Structure 1
Amino acid sequence: MFKDRQQAGRLLAEKLSGFAAANPVVYALPRGGLPIAEEIARRLNAPLDLILVRKLGAPGHEELAMGALVDGAAPTTILHDDVIAELAVPESYIEHSKAAALREIERRRKLYMKDRPAISPQGRTVIIADDGLATGATMEAAVAAMRKAKAGRIVVAVPVAPDDTVQALRHKADDVIVLQKPNPFWSVGSWYESFPQLADEDVIATLERTYAAQAAP
């Protein structure tokens, strides 16, 4: 069990120390992935950015992902056809969920990024960090978006995830670094002593702190 996201991020950063020579970019899945990514970026002396991705929750089971969406010039959408088929989710619901996800992503972009340009992953080693994975839908969408953006090498880095999710992601990413693969898994938060919900203000404060540190001589 991890004390909190910061401790988990430091432990994960140690595992990733060998990537420092590749001059990587560290991307966080907000909100929970940002404290993890901050520790990794600090350890690797790497720039930090966000991937604005939203889970598409199944009707009546919002915590169950029927897919995920990443913003971009052409938004990247991953759908879990097995969940959609099992729950007989209508196409109209999926389209409504995608539109709502894009609205929330745009709200977050304006709030978090302001006028800062996104860092291009093209040709670079990218490390995508989150505080843990359950179904892996949001991470799968993030990896797909990085492929579309022509990233050179894609590394998924999380403190905790179930083994079946990890194995599925190994077919999508170039590397998957996970500290713990508990069985039974329960939930991501079950493996942290402290796992508070993070607010927009937490994301903004972390980004401003990181940008200030990177701009310092």
Structure 2
Amino acid sequence: MNPRFRDRQEAGRELAEQLKRVLSSGTALPDDRPLVLALPRGGLPVAEEVAGGLDADLDVLVVRKVGVPAHPELAMGALATLSGSIETVRNETVLSQLPGAGEPGADFDTVAEKEREELLRRDELYRQGRSPVQVDGRTVIVVDDGLATGSTMKAALVVARRFVPARLVAAIPVGARQTCQELEELADDVVGTYVTDDLGSVGAAYRDFGQTSNEEVQEILSRH
């Protein structure tokens, strides 16, 4: 796949323009300033451009993948936290291929407990005492830099839905078509600038896909 975006900032600007069209097609909410929730770390540079384009508030929704012990990049599920609430999402497709891993006290629970500690540590690190975000009754847009299996985005949408947003949107510059379709069960709208059946990897859609550091996350949030 040829690169579709120069960097995350360009991807965020294109995504913002697409979101403007999608949001204008719905029922306008009175006094509704959208809330953009970024999945760190790579989702922050994208989300900042989205928030700027939509004149929206920006905050972070911290997520952690629950990886298979022998293959950490393969997600058995994910954890997400928002305003003190933690949500766990299990990837039953992967767990069905790992006999016993999903049983109480087995691999899933062991890894999830470890990731829960890291989830809370990062939430504290990134947010640095920021007031809890107000989600209920608002248009909430959850943003990441791309979508492959979607485990972390699914966890993020589940925890965001608990706070009763008026409209919940999943937004990504690039995503696998099947995964985007799966998200339609969790979000009111799924917006993807480039959705494909042949994703390969999220990074392949960018010419510059360098890692976003913790310091960059904190710097972006400090501006909002």
Show structure 1 runs of 5+ residues with no match.
212-217
1:194 aligns with 2:208: yes
State the match for 1:3 in structure 2: 6
Q: Distance in 1 between matches of 2:171 and 2:138?
A: 16
Does the aligned pair in 2 maintain the 1:78–1:141 contact within 8 Å?
A: yes
Does the aligned pair in 2 maintain the 1:71–1:102 contact within 8 Å?
A: no
Show structure 2 runs of 5+ residues with no match.
none
Q: State the SS of the aligned residue for 1:86.
A: coil
Q: 2:183 is aligned with what amino acid?
A: L
Which structure features the higher share of helix residues? 1
| Alignment map for 1:23-38 (pairs within 5 Å) | 23-38=33-48
CA RMSD between the two structures: 1.5
Q: 1:5 is aligned with what amino acid?
A: R
State the match for 1:84 in structure 2: 95
State the match for 1:214 in structure 2: none
Q: Distance in 2 between matches of 1:123 and 1:101?
A: 30
* TM-score using structure 2 length: 0.89
Following TM superposition, by how much is the alpha carbon of 1:71 offset from its aligned partner in structure 2, in angstroms? Answer: 2.3
Q: CA offsets per residue over residues 21-41 of structure 1, 9 Å max, x none?
A: 642100000001001110011
1:152 aligns with 2:166: yes
Give structure 1 regions of 4+ aligned residues with deviation exceeding 3 angstroms: 18-22
Deviates more, 1:163-172 or 1:71-80: 71-80
Q: Distance in 1 between matches of 2:38 and 2:97?
A: 31
Q: State the SS of the aligned residue for 2:208.
A: coil
Following TM superposition, by how much is the alpha carbon of 1:74 offset from its aligned partner in structure 2, in angstroms? Answer: 4.6
Q: Distance in 2 between matches of 1:179 and 1:59?
A: 33
Following TM superposition, by how much is the alpha carbon of 1:103 offset from its aligned partner in structure 2, in angstroms? Answer: 1.2
Equivalent pairs counted in the alignment come to: 210
Following TM superposition, by how much is the alpha carbon of 1:184 offset from its aligned partner in structure 2, in angstroms? Answer: 1.5
Q: Distance in 2 between matches of 1:167 and 1:109?
A: 29
Q: CA offsets per residue over residues 93-125 of structure 1, 9 Å max, x none?
A: 211211111111221122111111121211111
